[in-house]
């Protein structure tokens, strides 16, 4: 397998940093949901945080396999306070949309650099991001329907609390 070009090495390194930032965003969202006494939703966010670390590990391993050691960049915290679970999940969706846009840009960089070796990984991530946005988007839509209904919110909390974390780097959906 050919080494990464400098442009692609930078793009992969930037993506690693973004995936780790996504992990921290989800962890902060989990903290906020724990503060709202919604342990199921908080657990869902923690599982998502762990999944983002797996995503970073996939990019790191690909780069290492190709002779590049990515250096994690600075991660600036985001203000994620919200008044409702719906607003917290809306913040999660907005961050997923940023990650999706970055992966599409990484794909464009790979194309312009003529790098075919990274395309299978990027195809997996494109599919994953479609799934991620749909999943979080569905939760947002359901929380909007529930509104201030306490019983509905508790049912949603219990449902989301059923999610199991997927923390192995080899995890494939």
List, as residue ranges, the binding site for Fe cation: 19, 52, 55, 96, 129
Q: Is 107 exposed, middle or buried (0-12, 13-18, 19+ CB in 10 A)?
A: middle
Dist. CA 97–CA 95, nearest whole Å: 5
Cβ atoms within 10 Å of 173's Cβ, excluding its own: 9
Dist. CA 162–CA 157, nearest whole Å: 9
| Known binding-site residue numbers | 19, 52, 55, 96, 129
What torsion do the CA atoms of 24, 25, 27, 31 make, to the nearest 10 degrees? Answer: 130
What long-range pairs does 131-134 form, CB within 8 A, spacing at least 24?
131/173, 132/96, 132/99, 132/100, 133/93, 133/96, 133/97, 133/100
Give CA separation, 3 vs 37, 67, 80, 104, 164, in Å: 48, 6, 38, 21, 36
């Amino acid at each position: 397998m050919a080494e990464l070009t400098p442009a692609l090495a930078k793009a992969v390194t930037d993506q690693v940093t973004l995936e780790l930032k996504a992990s921290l965003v989800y962890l902060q969202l989990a903290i906020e949901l724990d503060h709202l006494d919604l342990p199921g939703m908080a657990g869902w966010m923690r599982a998502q945080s762990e999944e983002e670390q797996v995503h970073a590990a996939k990019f790191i391993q690909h780069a290492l396999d190709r002779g590049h050691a990515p250096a994690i960049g600075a991660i600036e915290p985001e203000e994620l306070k919200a008044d409702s679970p719906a607003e917290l999940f809306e913040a999660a969706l907005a961050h997923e949309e940023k990650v999706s846009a970055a992966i599409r840009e990484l794909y464009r960089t790979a194309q312009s650099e003529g790098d075919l070796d990274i395309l299978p990984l990027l195809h997996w991530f494109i599919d994953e991001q479609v799934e991620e946005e749909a999943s979080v988007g569905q939760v947002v839509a359901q929380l909007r329907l529930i509104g201030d209904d306490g019983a509905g919110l508790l049912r949603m909390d219990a449902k989301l609390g059923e999610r199991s974390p997927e923390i192995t780097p080899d995890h494939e959906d």
